A and B are shown apart, each in its own frame.
Chain A
Amino acid sequence: QKEVEQNSGPLSVPEGAIASLNCTYSDRGSQSFFWYRQYSGKSPELIMSIYSNGDKEDGRFTAQLNKASQYVSLLIRDSQPSDSATYLCAVFGYLYGGSQGNLIFGKGTKLSVKP
């Protein structure tokens, strides 16, 4: 079974610091990677997509992908209390080795930004 692993946290950082969220995945053939943010009681919201090795920056967010190490990360610069949420890593893969691909989600990392 294909898996996506994340540290459940909670990860606590002070306001203004860099928050680093990590994710590993087992399907070496995966090509599409996504980060979602989910506030308590709300639905997941897409914040970053990354498809190629290297870094992709969008405002205070940077996604990093290393396919050789099967590792994807999300950096949040100048963290704000409003960034406090659970961050879900999602990888497009083939569940159970079948021919129909789907997003496979990790359990999420809970981030707490302290004022």
Chain B
Amino acid sequence: ETGVTQTPRHLVMGMTNKKSLKCEQHLGHNAMYWYKQSAKKPLELMFVYNFKEQTENNSVPSRFSPECPNSSHLFLHLHTLQPEDSALYLCASSGTENQPQHFGDGTRLSIL
């Protein structure tokens, strides 16, 4: 099992669809993160969960809704997305907030 697993790897959806991204970590970490990576822009932190509690919401539009049912699983629910939301969505985990983060392979999302 790889450390951080994301599914699906690729997702194409229309603006009216609802879909979810899934992340699972097998590293025993306590913190999990969602990032957005667009071309020629730095990684943008979206959400942080520490011990299943959301500790950061970096001004993300409400069409993105995170869920963290336990320390190993993290979801990002998507609905009525916009074309500018097309990007690579990365999940990461770390032991604690100031320790190195380990990334999953990401979900490449395309909005039609």
- Interface residue from B40, B41, B48 paired with A100 (Cβ < 8 Å): B48
The reply on A82 being an interface residue by CB < 8 A is no
B48 touches A102 (CB 8 A): yes
- How many A-B residue contacts, CB cutoff 8 Å? 49
A102 touches B97 (CB 8 A): yes
Interface residues in B, total, Cβ within 8 A:
22
- Interface residue from B40, B48, B105 paired with A42 (Cβ < 8 Å): B105
Docked complex Cα distance between A44 and B43 (Å): 10
B97 touches A100 (CB 8 A): yes
The reply on B73 being an interface residue by CB < 8 A is no
- Scan residues 44-99 of chain B and give those whose CB is less than 8 A from a CB of chain A: 45, 48, 55-56, 58, 88, 90, 97-99
Docked complex Cα distance between A101 and B98 (Å): 7
Docked complex Cα distance between A45 and B40 (Å): 18
Docked complex Cα distance between A43 and B88 (Å): 9
Docked complex Cα distance between A101 and B41 (Å): 21
Determine how close the nearest CB of chain A comes to the CB of B6; give it in whole angstroms.
Answer: 8
Which residue on B lies nearest to A42, using beta carbons? B105
Q: Which residues of B contact A (CB under 8 A)?
A: 33, 40-43, 45, 48, 55-56, 58, 88, 90, 97-106
Pairs across A and B, CB under 8 Å, 13 listed: A4-B42, A32-B98, A46-B101, A46-B102, A90-B101, A95-B56, A95-B58, A100-B48, A100-B97, A102-B97, A103-B101, A105-B42, A106-B42
